[in-house]
Amino acid sequence: MKLVIIESSAKKQKLTKLLSDLYGAGVYKVLASLGHIRDLPAKELGVDVQNGFQPKYTIVKGKSKTIKLLSKQVSKADELYLASDPDREGESIAWHLIQVTRPQIPTFRVTFNEITQSAVKKAFDNPRQLNMDLVAAQEARRILDRLVGYKVSPALWRGLDASGLSAGRVQSVALGLVVERQSAIDTFVQREYWSIIGTFAVPTGQFDAKLVMWSGKPWTTETYCSHQDAHIAISSLSDLVFKIQKLEHKQRRRKAPIPFITSTLQQAASSHLRISPDKTMSIAQTLYVQGLITYMRSDSPAVSVEAADAAETFIRDTYGDLYLPEVRRQFKAKVGAQEAHECIRPTNVTLDELSSDHDDYSSRLYQLIWQRFIASQMADAHYDQTTIVVAGSKAVFMARNATLEFDGFLKIYLYGDDLKEEHQARPTDEDQDIVFPVLAENQICRAEAFEPKQHFTRPPATYSEASLVKALETLGIGRPSTYSLMVSTIRQRKYVVLKNRRLAPTMLGEQVSRFLDQHFALVVNYDFTKMMEDALDKISMGELNTRKFLTTFWNKFYPLVEPWQHAPPNQRSEPKLIGELCPVCGKGQIEIKRSRKGRFLGCNRYPACKYSRDMQTPAPVLVGRVCPDCGSQLCVRSKRDSADKFIGCTHYPTCKHTENSQPDVAGD
């Protein structure tokens, strides 16, 4: 029996069927590790810095039973195939499986970017050995993130006098981007500027053109800063003779889009479908497991020959040869791409939509992926573009239109920029079908009117989830597996909130970001973070030693955390008592406390007494007696949705003792 271990149990049934169809029933047995089985300990650093940054791995909580089952099956198998996901994390999981099961049989690593018969057969017919460079890169990332998280977070607690805060190596950079953008918006000073539109007439009709040059210089937002400036300019244009300086007709192409990679899929899904990055990845994971799309974590737009052949056949049969490009496109990954994956595409190009068995989100995301891939293999859209340049004295005006002659890929893909917030592309120059009168170069035209138009400069836009992912990708921060996690983490920590689909920092987020900028600039520096990512890539390619990399980082990082590590406990601010006795224990004093959610009131005897309430909630009115059930104080309470009063325990809801007697509130 040949044993196959995968990550997700959702793949088990489909992979078992594919292997049975390929090699016969019962030849392969498929089991799932259900994700990670070992990790650094949850409640301690787990890294021996003094001993070459040696990690201390422990069994993930709840996985002992799974490991026992897997080990038992490994001991019965003739061969072991580790088929965890095809990325660094998957390679690391495969290595950990070997460490805990200790196989005494031939062990192989198999990866496939799509759960289809051809991909699975190719993987199992060509198994390989574990790639220890990928394992080392993932281990280095995990250790690096643990060092930052466990060393910076306590400094945050002390520096901001708030326990429960946490900092992450890449999440903190994402937070910094949001805070930095909000600061630029808050300090933005709006400025007025004016443009001029001229209406020109020829015997065959009229047309409008915009001023683009003035006194030999291109028009900018600083050319006319007031209505008076624009009016003076218009006055100087009166009675001038204008002529058509240039009349140009040319063919213009709008290129087909590049197939999806992880970052662009998240951006497009957020902008066009209004699906958050983390939900996008969750849906894509399900589609991948179901064998409908290729692996959803990829930074390469490459397309396999087989997939390109299938798309070409589909396009020819469905739309005709005109919709095929003259030369098949080749898409290359950007420099520094982590994996040798394909793009994110459908596994069956003839399936343009899902059955009704799938939910609406899954259907819409699949259709977006299908449309994008097919469009990437289609011909460009063609436009007939006309440009008119009108000149007179020191003013030059320009007008342009574009008429769609051949739709090409627009036949199926009408979405525009992945960062636009609409469902469809906004009109651009290519979409404006303006009809010009018949014109000729050097033709004299009469100026009918000049219209000044007022504008105001706009502050930079707040980040959407899509544009934040784009910014992180542009800066080289994070990798396909981390984009959605970075965005969702800073939201979960209440460092940012989502308002009208835009990210805004909370007061807590701004405090955390300022503190990190002041004391841990190295950690949140964009260039340094990118350098760390590049170093991890070099480790994955065998070009850099893990220990050397971690030592270099630690030598720069430790001087920043060392002062906080040895700071005395009394460095925290003094308790802020409000002069109120605790109504529950009767011994402690009520003080102002802080948590990651903000300020609240609580007993200073915590954890012996856990009484707390919101800052806005008034102190309870005590009746001078103790609760017969728990010994806490009794107080006046109100019935829900009623003004009626009754006597109850201050320790509610832990203690639910009540008395039916009506209290004399005034007397109490």
Q: What is the pLDDT of residues 20-75, one digit of tens each?
A: 999 999 999 999 998 899 999 988 899 999 999 999 999 999 999 999 999 999 99
Cα 1 to Cα 23, 31, 79, 223: the distances in Å are 12, 13, 7, 79
Report the run of H or E that residue 508 belongs to, with start and end.
helix 507-519
Instruction: Give the per-residue SS3 of 531-571.
Output: HHHHHHHHHHCCCCCHHHHHHHHHHHHHHHHHHHHCCCHHH
Residue range 534-543: mean pLDDT, rounded:
91
pLDDT > 50? residue 638? yes
pLDDT > 90? residue 544? yes
pTM of the model: 0.77
Give residue 309's pLDDT: 94
How far is it, in rounded angstroms, from Cα 447 to Cα 251? Answer: 29
Give residue 422's pLDDT: 35
> 653 falls in which pLDDT band (50, 70, 90)?
confident
Give residue 610's pLDDT: 84
> 142 falls in which pLDDT band (50, 70, 90)?
very high
Q: Give the CATH superfamily of 140-187+462-565.
A: Topoisomerase I, domain 2 (1.10.460.10)
* Tens of pLDDT, residues 552-598: 999 999 999 888 876 654 344 566 788 888 888 888 999 887 665 66
> 476 falls in which pLDDT band (50, 70, 90)?
confident
Contact 372, 257 (CB under 8 A): yes
pLDDT, greater one: 367 or 340: 367
Is beta strand 54-55 parallel, antiparallel or unpaired with respect to 658-659? unpaired
pLDDT > 70? residue 424? no
Query: Please, what is the average pLDDT of the chain?
Result: 87
Handedness of CA 259, 264, 267, 270 (dihedral sign): positive
484, 492, 507: which is closest to 179 by C-alpha? 507
Domain 2-130 sits in CATH 3.40.50.140:
yes
Residue range 89-103: mean pLDDT, rounded:
94
* Tens of pLDDT, residues 3-12: 999 998 888 8
How far is it, in rounded angstroms, from Cα 668 to Cα 645? Answer: 12
Give residue 492's pLDDT: 87
Task: Look up residue 92 and give its two tokens.
Answer: 């690391």
* Tens of pLDDT, residues 241-292: 899 999 999 999 999 999 999 999 999 999 899 999 999 999 999 999 999 9
> 618 falls in which pLDDT band (50, 70, 90)?
confident
Q: E-assigned strands of 137-221?
A: 192-202, 205-214, 217-218
Instruction: Give the per-residue SS3 of 608-619.
Output: CCCCEECCCCCC
How far is it, in rounded angstroms, from Cα 509 to Cα 493? Answer: 9
Give residue 660's pLDDT: 72
Give residue 573's pLDDT: 52
Is beta strand 47-48 parallel, antiparallel or unpaired with respect to 54-55? antiparallel
> 427 falls in which pLDDT band (50, 70, 90)?
very low
pLDDT > 70? residue 642? no
Partners of 637 in the beta sheet?
646
Q: What are the residue boundaries of the structural domains of the chain, listed by start?
A: 2-130, 140-187+462-565, 192-255+382-456, 262-379, 575-617, 620-668
| Choice among 295, 413, 495, 611 that is catalytic | 295
How far is it, in rounded angstroms, from Cα 600 to Cα 615? Answer: 5
Residue range 401-421: mean pLDDT, rounded:
84
Is 295 marked active-site? Answer: yes
Give residue 426's pLDDT: 36
Give residue 42's pLDDT: 86
362 Cβ contact list (under 8 Å, min separation 6) = 283, 286, 287, 354
Give residue 568's pLDDT: 53
pLDDT > 50? residue 200? yes
Least confident of 104-108, 120-124, 293-297, 529-533: 529-533
pLDDT > 70? residue 420? no
Q: Give the CATH superfamily of 192-255+382-456.
A: Topoisomerase I, domain 3 (2.70.20.10)
Domain 262-379 sits in CATH 1.25.40.10:
no
How far is it, in rounded angstroms, from Cα 494 to Cα 465? Answer: 15
* Tens of pLDDT, residues 147-197: 998 888 888 887 776 667 788 888 889 999 999 999 999 999 999 999 999
Share of the chain above pLDDT 90, in %: 58
pLDDT > 60? residue 429? no
pLDDT > 70? residue 661? no
How far is it, in rounded angstroms, from Cα 189 to Cα 11? Answer: 55
